[in-house]
Amino acid sequence: MEKLKLALYWAASCGGCEIAVLDLDEKILDVTAIFDIVFWPVAIDIKYKDVEAMPDESIDVCLFNGSIRTSENEYMAHLLRKKSKILIAFGSCAHEGCIPGLANLSNRDEVFNVVYLDNPSTENPKKITPKTSTKVEEGELTLPEFYDTVKTLDQVVDVDYYIPGCPPPVKLISDAIDAIAQNNLPPKGSILAPLRSVCDECKFERHEKKIKEIKRVYEVEKIEDKCLLEQGIICMGPATRGGCDARCLDANMPCTGCGGKTPNSPDQGAKMISALSSILGVEGEEEMTEEDVDSLIDQVIDPVGTFYKYSLPSAFINRRPLR
């Protein structure tokens, strides 16, 4: 049987997704048995022009990781879409925007300012920041345009499947590879992960949930053997799609939400906020003053970073207003 053609690409991402593929261990041999890797910038020496030269839809499967934050990312998304039969948003950045997406709380100028000008380890007296075009003696140098707003892959091109996670758990990757190999993929648009939330895979015992205060992990002296939410720690598990075997919980750390929203949920952060506000301070609710309620809520340090750590670009409200 002829091998399937596989492409892997990284856009705005940390590189963890690439490592996750290598994490497959000996399963990587299956991958090479089934696939010919035709494009994978991190591993093989191949140029964009080679991809441009490929016939349309000649790549069987493309695992695209990273969000879209530059014109280069966007160009490659379009290019790989055209060249691939199946385009998979691989990992949280491509799926929901992830950490790079938190940049939607600021804009290009502010990002450049922090990175190139106003930070203690940078010396930049000429105040040079990246420009899309720079004239030098030898001619014109160009750089991709850096956008104000980070987007998910499916906000730019049509996406066939999603593999969630930051990075995707090995089990989900290997299940996806098996499904591809056996031509056993679910309907287009599916997320290749279980339907239920992280709680479903979590080891902790759970009981009634009515909580009085919120604590950060370091404020809890000893983690008890019960649901972290019940101990006052914000755990995004209930609002997050499982498939990770609740590994963070295994290590007594709360879920921070990288699996993205659950099937019927339009907005992961909103769902969690709604759930948390349903159980926070419900006892004695009637006696509470506005100030009491405010001070309860003020215990959530960094709300966007807590509830939208991985999903800001795909949320209902997906960025700070630009003006």
Partner 1 sequence: MGKNIGVYICDCNGEISKTVDVDAVSIFAGNQDEVVVSRVPNNLCSTDGLEAIKKDIETGKVDRVLIAGCSPKRYDDLFRNAFEKSGLNRGFYLRRNIREQCAWVHEDKDIATEKAKLLVKSGISELKLCEPVQEIKTKMGRTSLVIGGGVAGMSAALDLAKNGFYTYLVERDEELGGRAFNVSMTHPTTECGICCIHDCRDCVLTPKPEEVYCNENIDVMLSSEVVDALGHVGDYTVNIKGKNGALRAINVGTVIIATGYKPFDPAKIPEYSYDHKNVLTSLELEKLFLEQKPSRTGVRRPSDGKVPDTISFIQCVGSRDINKGNPWCSLVCCNYAIGQAKSLKKMHPETDITIHYIDIRASYRGFEEFYNEVLAMGVKFLRGRVAEVQKLNDDLQIICEDTISGDPVQTKADMVILSIGMEPNEDTKRLAEMFHRELSEDGFYRDLNLNLNFSPEARTGAFLAGCAQGPKSIRYSIADGKIAAGLAADMMRKGYILAEDTLGIVDEDLCGRCRICVSLCPYDAIKLEEIEPGKAIAKIDPAGCTGCGVCGAACPTGAILMSQFKDDLIYAQIDALSEEV
User: Which of 271, 308, 310, 313 lies at the binding interface for partner 1 (CB under 8 A)?
Assistant: 271
Q: Does residue 203 interact with partner 1 by CB under 8 A?
A: no
- Residue 274 partner contact from partner 1, ligand SF4, none using kind-dependent CB cut-offs of 5 to 8 Å: partner 1
Q: Which residues on adjacent β-strands are paired with residue 141? A: 134
Q: Does residue 303 interact with partner 1 by CB under 8 A?
A: no
DSSP state of 116: I
Nearer to partner 1, 150 or 312 (CB): 312
Minimum CB–partner distance for residue 80 and ligand SF4 (Å): 35
Query: Contact, 98 vs 258, CB < 8 A?
Result: yes
Query: Contact, 76 vs 11, CB < 8 A?
Result: yes
Q: Does residue 197 interact with partner 1 by CB under 8 A?
A: yes
Go through the chain and tell me how many residues it has: 323
> 91 to 150, contacts with partner 1 by CB under 8 A?
none
Nearer to ligand SF4, 149 or 240 (CB): 240
Q: Are strands 59-65 and 84-90 parallel, antiparallel or unpaired?
A: parallel
Minimum CB–partner distance for residue 227 and partner 1 (Å): 8
- Residue 195 partner contact from ligand SF4, partner 1, none using kind-dependent CB cut-offs of 5 to 8 Å: partner 1
Give the closest residue to 144 by CA, choosing from 52, 11, 54, 318.
11
Please count the CA atoms within 13 angstroms of the CA of 146 that sit on its side-chain side. 16
Minimum CB–partner distance for residue 215 and ligand SF4 (Å): 13
Q: Does residue 237 interact with partner 1 by CB under 8 A?
A: yes
Binding site for ligand SF4 (CB under 6 A): 198-199, 202, 204, 206, 227-229, 235, 237-238, 246, 249, 254-255
Computed on alpha carbons and rounded to an integer, the radius of gyration of the chain in Å comes to 22
Please count the CA atoms within 13 angstroms of the CA of 277 that sit on its side-chain side. 13
Residue entry with tokens 């759930």:
275
Minimum CB–partner distance for residue 212 and ligand SF4 (Å): 16
> Which range, of 68-76, 115-123, 126-134, 267-275, touches partner 1 by CB under 8 A?
267-275
Nearer to partner 1, 49 or 207 (CB): 207
State the Cα–Cα distance between residues 234 and 214, nearest whole angstrom: 7
Dump the DSSP string for 223-262: --SS-TGGGTB---GGGSB--STTHHHHTT-----TT---
Nearer to ligand SF4, 118 or 283 (CB): 283
Give the orientation angle of helix 170-181 with respect to helix 27-34, to 10 degrees. Answer: 30
Nearer to ligand SF4, 65 or 197 (CB): 197
Minimum CB–partner distance for residue 166 and partner 1 (Å): 19
State the Cα–Cα distance between residues 218 and 119, nearest whole angstrom: 28
User: Which of 47, 131, 171, 196 lies at the binding interface for partner 1 (CB under 8 A)?
Assistant: 196
State the Cα–Cα distance between residues 102 and 50, nearest whole angstrom: 33
> 246 to 265, contacts with partner 1 by CB under 8 A?
262-265
The residues of the shown chain that bind partner 1, judged by CB under 8 A, are 195-200, 206-210, 227, 229, 237-239, 242, 262-266, 271-272, 274-275, 278-279, 282
